[in-house]
Amino acid sequence: MLYVNTEVNGVPVKAFVDSGAQATIMSPDCAERCGIMRLMDVRYAGMARGVGTARILGRVHHAEIKIGGAVMPCAFTVMEGKDVDLLFGLDMLKRYRAKIDLEKNALCFEGQEVPFLHESEIPRSFEEAELNEPTVTGPNGEEIGAKTGAVRPKGSAQAGASNAGPSSSSQPAQPQAQPIASKAPVSSASQGAFPRDHIQQLTGMFGCTEQEATQALEMFGGNVEHAASFLLGG
């Protein structure tokens, strides 16, 4: 797992760097500790729908985050269901043109090289959740944690992990809910759930793929305005 030390509103937070997560997500508990719940826009509340569902409490459009020596504005989706305080997702990685450099074992951006935390520094709550959480099957046979979004090689799930929903002898059981961090592609049925012109409007405005536009619409129940604000990055 790739973690970096950060500060949000002056409060130390260990952030999980996940390029497979579309959005930067903060837990409600972490938002409370950082004193930014008062900034949350509840108009963005709803359900995130991917492989499963998770409750979105709202969106913080602007708060300061410090990574290394850089202080920069960041937007957060406040969502239940994650076992990490802060998940630094693809939206912010792209905004600041950050690079995950495994040779240097660091997150690199704007001249900064922020080292990833040693395994001993990773929060225990995340490790325990990863070991015991249910999984779903990814597009290439890998196993994706239903709560953390962690991707593990095929066949590596813990034998003691509990699963819910229908199962078979060859497929891991489907969990009841999972936030949007999964890398599984959007199905054609999901794409057909929204008007074609709404998808084309978003792809034309932001240069995103149809899959990204569909995922954004799914997150906000088909609301084009909210989906557009999300793709813009807050």
What letter represents residue 199's amino acid? I
State the virtual CA torsion across 9, 14, 19, 21 in degrees, nearest 10.
-70
* Closest to 94 measured CA to CA, from 208, 221, 217, 215: 208
* Closest to 212 measured CA to CA, from 184, 179, 186: 186
Selected catalytic residue, list 18, 83, 85, 91: 18
- Separation CA 63–CA 127 (nearest Å): 28
E strands, the chain, in order: 3-8, 11-17, 25-26, 46-49, 53-67, 70-79, 86-88, 99-101, 106-109, 112-115, 135-137, 143-145, 151-152
* Closest to 177 measured CA to CA, from 73, 69, 70, 47: 47
Determine whether 197 is an active site residue.
no
Characterize 61-78 residue by residue with b for buried, 16 or more Cβ atoms within 10 angstroms of its Cβ, and e for exposed: bebebbbbeeeeebbbbb
Task: Report in angstroms the alpha-carbon separations of 187 from 150, 152, 157, 195.
Answer: 21, 22, 25, 15
Residues with a catalytic annotation lie at 18
